[in-house]
Amino acid sequence: MKAECPVCGAEIEFAEDTVQGELLECSECGTELEVVSTDPPKVEEAPQEEEDWGQ
Ligand SMILES: [Zn+2]
């Protein structure tokens, strides 16, 4: 599955076990991306706020 980086347009390849809500990093521009959908594959720029999600 492949999505398109909303920032630079590069193709983002999803791993087979990629799930909605997962964070990925664009290999082209380094932007942190959040998987908003896996079918169809779609990513959006992750929120930039410094949020601590805990462990
Ligand atoms: Zn990018």
- pLDDT confidence of residue 21: 96
Q: In this structure, is residue 25 part of a structural domain?
A: yes
What pTM was computed for the model? 0.81
Q: In this structure, is residue 53 part of a structural domain?
A: no
Amino acid letter at 11?
A: E
**Could you give the number of structural domains in the chain?**
1
Q: In this structure, is residue 41 part of a structural domain?
A: yes
**Structural domain of residue 9, as residue ranges?**
2-45
DSSP string, 4-52: E-TTT--EEEPPTT--TT-EEE-TTT--EEEEEEETTEEEEEPP-S---
Q: In this structure, is residue 55 part of a structural domain?
A: no
Over residues 18-55, the pLDDT tens digits come to 999 999 999 999 999 999 999 999 999 998 777 677 76
- Could you tell me the distance, in angstroms and rounded to a whole number, from the CA of residue 10 to the centre of ligand 1? 5
CATH number at residue 10: 2.20.28.160
- Could you tell me the distance, in angstroms and rounded to a whole number, from the CA of residue 34 to the centre of ligand 1? 12
Q: Which of 30, 39, 22, 38 is nearest to 5 (CA)?
A: 30
Q: In this structure, is residue 52 part of a structural domain?
A: no
Q: In this structure, is residue 8 part of a structural domain?
A: yes
- Could you tell me the distance, in angstroms and rounded to a whole number, from the CA of residue 48 to the centre of ligand 1? 15
Instruction: Kindly list the distances between the CA atom of residue 28 and the CA atoms of 23, 39, 50, 52, 54, in Å, as whole numbers in the listed order.
Output: 15, 23, 23, 26, 28
